[in-house]
A and B are shown apart, each in its own frame.
Chain A
Amino acid sequence: MSKVNILYGTITAILAMVFFLSTFTFPSEQRGLDPRVYPRFISICFFALSVGLIVSGAKARKGSEQERENHLWMEIFFSPARKRIWGIFLSALGYVAIIDTVGYLVATPPFLALSMLFFGEKKVWRILVTSLVTTALLFGLFRIIFRVPLPVSSLW
């Protein structure tokens, strides 16, 4: 049995059902393509494929590829790489959350420095120089040359 396939299949099947049920709220139109037809067709196909994945997951034999995937699935949560991936994901979300408040120039160097740490960089001078120079270069390129209105601090 492949728990990964069953999990993915269940999530996508629920998504398909939600989409299919939503089509009942759509207006009906007799001329041309009824707005419910295409979304229903896609949702039904998506549901059928999801069920197929659940069935293939339930049928998977021991030692099969799917079984090995189970191992990979466990790795996601218990391997040493886990901390780094989740760490960088959360720091990226944190960066997005604060950038509008503190501005691009203040938020970016610490985020880049943190990312470098997650990627195993240990030399402090390299971290400082890279994060500051990259921020300055990207700011110069996008703000000054391309005139992209990068977020500025709303605090000062």
Chain B
Amino acid sequence: MQAAMEGVLYVLNHFPFLFIGVAGGILVGALPGLSGSTGIILLLPFLLYVEPAEALIMMSGMFCGSMYGGSISAILISTPGTPSAAATVLDGYPLAKQGKAGKALAVSTIASTAGGVVSTLCLILLAPQLAKLALKFGPPEYFALMIFGLTIMASVSASSLLKGLLSGFFGLMLAMVGLDPILGTPRFTFGITRFLTGFPMVPVLIGLFAFSEVFGQLEVLGKKAIPHVERVRSSLPTWKELKGLVSVILGSSLLGTIIGIIPATGGAIASFMAYNEARRFSKHPETFGTGELAGIAAPEAANNGTTGGAMIPMLTLGIPGDVVTAVMLGALLLIGVRPGPLLFSQTPHIIHALFAGFMLAQFLILALGLITIPLFPKVLKVPVGILYPIVLGLCFLGAYSYGNSVYDMGMAVIFGLLGYFMKKHGFSAAPTILGLILGPLAEQELGRALIISHGDWTVLFKSPIALLFYGLACLSVWYSLRGVSKAKTRG
């Protein structure tokens, strides 16, 4: 209890970091084209200069805020700000067209907050237990865990499993450039001194996620002509309406949390599942799609429910639950915080601050969301000619401040173009990042396991926990292959 209070006090003393994270997240989520992962990348230049706990609070705020922010454009301009808000369009936009955009936004805000609170409670209850279990892991178990993490590459692939795997292995190839982790000898440097330190993580992240997004926006410039809701008046749902939504919100929040815990699922899957379940259990399923409040509450509670869930495997095992937590994992490693069980036992104050920050972020979303509803249409009217050049300026500074080097800025631009072409031709950048982050960890753990066992490879298969992770890895691959064959059957 005392630790919890200390966490809350820490967050209140560092409130501006939470505010910047949440407000920035809502903004980034609301603007189509920018997502939570881009938001965290835009935070990178700041994260390098703050305390680890402050950085985690900011990133958590950005994660939760962006997940909620996606619903704003989904409701007002029928364009989900993030993929997780795609299901919200189905009933949100029809309500906005009926002149009830204010009520739709209020329901989305309340449901998002509830989803976030339920999810945070699960995070607080489950993460320390899982971390205790993970303390028993040795190199063979960690290696198996990394293999499981790497199989997520297949699941986060965009349209093609083959392209997703190729993209992931491209990340593993990039990660090998530099020094051998065991012997320290140079490898794949091709005589270039700069390559001795490997590819710098921040510029690669900025390039693949942020620069590529800017290039992509240039392509769709002037193509969008969406009917825009010009004015929104604050309008809260009535008590009767809210009472009718309680079961939908609670059920969807729990569903979202569970889905969030499963690596490689994420908000988009959770929101569509919750929407379907809400319609299935509704007494009037025929009203869904015409402006039904439950059709907004269910996906929004579910997608914000995934936030705390996705943090559980990331914080306790170092396995990202989705693309945003993968980027967050990369950012944490950069600021010297390695997620895993030791984070809980050695630096509990960081974890307590994170838990408190995550919970307070939900209430900040509620306050900011309800107060600023009339401003949302104005936010969506920010000219792209102003927004994206500013994003470019921030990206360049982020890349530069990582190593105070112009070389890193150049790397970000080159990886930006590479990321743009990858996206353009169906190669998702997320598996590349997973490969880049998890590849070196897997190699290190494999090396350690073999040193301990004097080169006996069977050590990798002797532990029941390791076997469990191999089993989960096989399941993950099977699940992805099944998805591909189903898609083929559907034509």
Contacts and interface: CB of A to CB of B under 8 A. Distances in A.
Contact of B417 (A19, A89, A100): A89
Could you tell me the dominant secondary structure of chain A's interface residues? Answer: helix
A119 B218 contact: yes
Contact of A142 (B180, B397, B421, B454): B397
Interface stretch (B117-125, B284-292, B339-347, B385-393): B385-393
15 contacts: A12-B166, A32-B447, A32-B455, A33-B182, A35-B183, A38-B176, A39-B187, A46-B170, A52-B162, A112-B392, A119-B218, A120-B385, A134-B389, A134-B393, A142-B401
A46 B389 contact: no
Contacts of A8: 166, 425, 427
Closest 8 pairs (CB-CB, A-B): A121-B385, A115-B389, A32-B451, A119-B385, A81-B219, A33-B447, A84-B218, A46-B169
Contacts of A16: 173
Interface string A1-14: 00010001000100
A88 B221 CA distance: 14
B409 A96 contact: yes
Contacts of B447: 32-33
A46 to B, nearest CB: 4
A73 B421 CA distance: 9
A88 B394 contact: no
B424 interface: yes
A55 B420 CA distance: 24
B185 interface: yes
A32 B166 contact: no
A146 B49 contact: yes
A30 B389 contact: no
A19 B394 CA distance: 34
Interface string B168-211: 01101100100010110101101000000000000000000001
Interface residues of A, number: 64
Given A19-B176, A85-B420, A118-B218, A46 B166 contact: yes
A49 interface: yes
Interface of A: 4, 8, 12, 15-16, 19, 22-23, 26-27, 29-33, 35, 38-39, 42-43, 45-46, 49-50, 52-53, 56, 65, 69, 72-73, 76, 79, 81, 84-85, 88-89, 92-93, 95-96, 99-100, 108, 112, 115-116, 118-121, 126, 130-131, 134-135, 138, 142, 146, 148-151
Most buried by B among A95, A99, A115, A131: A115
A70 B445 CA distance: 42
Contacts of B163: 53
Interface residues of B, number: 63
A92 B399 CA distance: 13
A130 B386 contact: yes
Contacts of B219: 79, 81, 84-85
Interface string B416-430: 110011001111000
A112 B404 contact: no
Most buried by A among B383, B388, B392, B443: B392
Nearest to B46: A146
Contacts of B176: 19, 38-39, 42
B481 to A, nearest CB: 14
A138 B42 CA distance: 13
A71 to B, nearest CB: 12
B167 to A, nearest CB: 9
Contacts of B388: 115, 119
A93 B410 contact: yes
Contacts of A50: 166
B185 A26 contact: yes
B394 A115 contact: no
B485 to A, nearest CB: 15
Most buried by B among A38, A43, A53: A38
A33 B70 CA distance: 46
Given A49-B165, A121-B386, A150 B183 contact: no
Given A76-B421, A126-B383, 20 more contacts: A12-B170, A22-B188, A22-B190, A26-B185, A30-B455, A32-B182, A32-B447, A32-B450, A33-B182, A45-B169, A49-B165, A65-B159, A115-B392, A120-B221, A121-B383, A126-B386, A134-B393, A142-B45, A142-B401, A151-B406
